[in-house]
């Protein structure tokens, strides 16, 4: 399933820049950019240097079931089918082996940048459509009437996290805490202390980004002292 954004700026490898609304097909590493004149340009990762998006379009009628009875999502809000999240999000392109450890080849792929650097926390999101039986107790709702037994489909988001190294390679964070501490062995003890002192969760991508930035600062301090 593609992610949709109302605005984007895409810098191509040939130096050109294009702008417009954008559909990101993560499974294909492909962009569909709708230009100002209404034409749609198809751009593979191979042709992209970097891009940034904003105004992610979220469908209220595809929310996970636990949100349906939440006060934050009243019937009127659910009937507003689309919602735009305006936060700007930068993306980079790295060669990726699709997490096949023994692969002999890789291909350009899109990764969202979550922190500063020089070691960068990267994320790939996958939108997955899941079905929940309408008889499930969590689906009880006075404004979402469906025949008995009709499944409700909602969109779940799966995150894959990586480190982008200064050398231009990526390291998969399959178990974020274990793998991050393994990448920063000299800083591991201080990282754990910092996480504990500030209540940071290695499994939370936003908090993990803070930890990577902290690890970068520790490594830079050590380098400058030598």
The answer to whether the beta carbons of residues 181 and 163 sit under 8 Å apart is: no
Query: What is the pLDDT at residue 39?
Result: 97
The answer to whether the beta carbons of residues 94 and 108 sit under 8 Å apart is: yes
| pLDDT tens sequence for the chain (226 residues) | 889 999 999 999 999 999 999 999 999 999 999 999 999 999 999 999 999 999 988 765 555 555 555 544 444 444 444 556 677 999 999 999 999 888 889 999 999 999 999 999 999 998 777 676 555 544 444 445 555 556 666 667 789 999 999 999 999 999 999 999 999 999 999 999 999 999 999 999 999 999 999 999 999 998 888 7
The answer to whether the beta carbons of residues 186 and 220 sit under 8 Å apart is: no
- Phi, psi torsion values for 190, nearest 5 degrees: -70, -35
């Amino acid at each position: 399933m593609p992610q949709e954004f109302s605005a984007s700026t895409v810098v191509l490898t040939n130096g050109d820049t294009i702008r417009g609304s954008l559909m990101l097909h993560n499974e294909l590493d492909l962009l569909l950019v709708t230009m100002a004149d209404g034409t749609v340009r198809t751009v593979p990762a191979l042709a992209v240097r970097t891009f940034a998006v904003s105004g992610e379009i979220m469908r209220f009628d595809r929310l996970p079931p636990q949100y349906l009875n939440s006060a934050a999502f009243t019937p009127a809000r659910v009937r507003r089918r689309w919602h735009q999240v305006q936060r700007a999000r930068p993306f980079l392109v790295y060669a990726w082996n699709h997490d096949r450890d023994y692969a002999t080849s890789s291909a350009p792929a899109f990764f969202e940048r979550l922190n500063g650097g020089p070691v960068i926390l990267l994320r790939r999101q996958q939108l997955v459509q899941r079905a929940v039986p309408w008889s499930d107790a969590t689906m009880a709702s006075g404004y979402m009437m469906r025949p008995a037994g009709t499944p409700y489909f909602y969109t779940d988001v799966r995150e894959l996290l990586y480190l982008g190294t200064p050398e231009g390679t990526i390291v998969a964070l399959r178990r974020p805490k274990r793998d991050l501490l393994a990448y920063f062995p000299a800083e591991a003890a201080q990282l754990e202390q910092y996480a504990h002192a500030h209540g940071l969760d290695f499994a939370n991508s936003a908090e993990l980004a803070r930890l990577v930035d902290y690890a970068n600062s520790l490594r830079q301090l050590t380098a400058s002292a030598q």
